[in-house]
Amino acid sequence: MFYIRADGNAAIGIGHIMRCLSIAEAVKETGAEEPVFLLADNICYNMVADRGFAAKVLGTDYRHMQSELEKLSTLLKKEDVILVDSYQVSIEYYKELGKLCKTVCLEDMGNAYPVDLLINYNIYAKQLWENYQQGSSPKKVLLGVEYMPLRKAFQNHAVYQVRDKVTDVMITTGGSDPCFAAGSIIEAIWKECIREDKNQTNKISVHIVSGPMNQYTAQLKALCAEKEFFIIYENVQNMEALIKKCDVVITAAGSTVYEVCAIGVPMICFYFAENQRQGAQALAGLTDIVNAGAFAEDKEQVVSNILQALNHCIYDRIYRERLSMQERTLVDGKGAVRLAEEIIKLQAL
């Protein structure tokens, strides 16, 4: 059996679940046995089930992974493979898990774990090679954006065409919005780019995605109720189409960054937490994308940086064309397939 151990909620977002679903679908398409998701609670149960996968709720606390090992010991067999995607893990957890079955780890921070296969698909991952060779090092390591498990919709698509004028801007904060960043960005764009444009030279519609774990959805709706051209989206079924509709995407530095890159829509990014910092900084280092900074640390400065970058995009098509080209060179969309192949190899050992 192939198991996937991941969680999602308002505190940690749904990025872990989403990228694991992409891997699960790639494994399924090979004709191999379909994976079973193992969840601490039922928060993301329907999300997994709606994508056609079986799930078991462990009834544990996602923050205390060590406590679930007893339950896993009754479920896992030596020939099984389990993929774990969590920031709550420890070296001790993986040592014990490795006694039960073969182990795969999705990792972002440069922490070496004693697993059979460690995957870090981030843009900065190859800089962490030496980290993974120290201490409790994994048996095999896969690093770099060639292993980014994009959702199927983003794996193959026509080349995005940069338009003459910016008429549609997207704001997304990921599955949640821990600092209500969207509210601050909306207010700033309304004041600086739309309401105070006396001559109405910029006919801009702003598309705001409220993720499934966003606790501020009601406030977003109230904030935009009287603002013409501001549109809120919930339960987006076709994110690819919405991204393609836009001329600029303002996004938190999570998995959405790679989806936007795969299409090639000019982007501005910011970040909430430490696990997003390295990605935002690496993206800005390799391209001309603006990393607006850490929202939780200085929201006024981050919003100011976003506005400045947005104005640059609005008034400079050549800049937008450059961003689009740079982004498309980063991600080829085949990462999920590559990971599925590696997992199937591990199962066969």
pLDDT 10s per residue in the chain (349 long)? 999 999 999 888 888 999 999 999 999 999 998 999 999 999 999 999 999 999 999 999 999 999 999 999 999 999 999 999 999 999 999 999 999 999 999 999 999 999 999 999 999 999 999 999 987 889 999 999 999 999 888 887 677 999 999 999 999 998 889 999 999 999 999 988 765 554 445 689 999 999 988 999 999 999 999 888 899 999 998 999 999 999 999 999 988 999 999 999 999 999 998 879 999 999 999 999 999 999 999 999 999 999 999 999 999 999 999 999 999 999 888 999 999 999 999 999 8
In three-state secondary structure terms, 262 is helix
CB 65 within 8 A of CB 76: no
- Joined together, the tokens standing for residue 150 give 């994009």
Give CA separation, 307 vs 64, 248, 300, 316, 337, in Å: 40, 12, 11, 14, 37
Distance of CA 70 to the CA centre of its chain: 30
* Among the listed residues 60, 53, 63, the one whose alpha carbon sits nearest the alpha carbon of residue 18: 53
- Backbone dihedral region of 52: left (phi > 0), alpha (psi from -120 to 50 degrees) or beta? left
* Among the listed residues 274, 256, 173, 272, the one whose alpha carbon sits nearest the alpha carbon of residue 219: 173
Q: How far apart are CA 341 and CA 344, in angstroms?
A: 5
**Sheet hosting strand 290-294, strand order edge to edge:** 230-234, 205-210, 168-172, 248-252, 267-271, 290-294
Torsion of CA 150, 154, 157, 163, to 10 degrees: -120
Give CA separation, 100 vs 59, 74, 78, 123, 207, in Å: 20, 9, 6, 32, 47
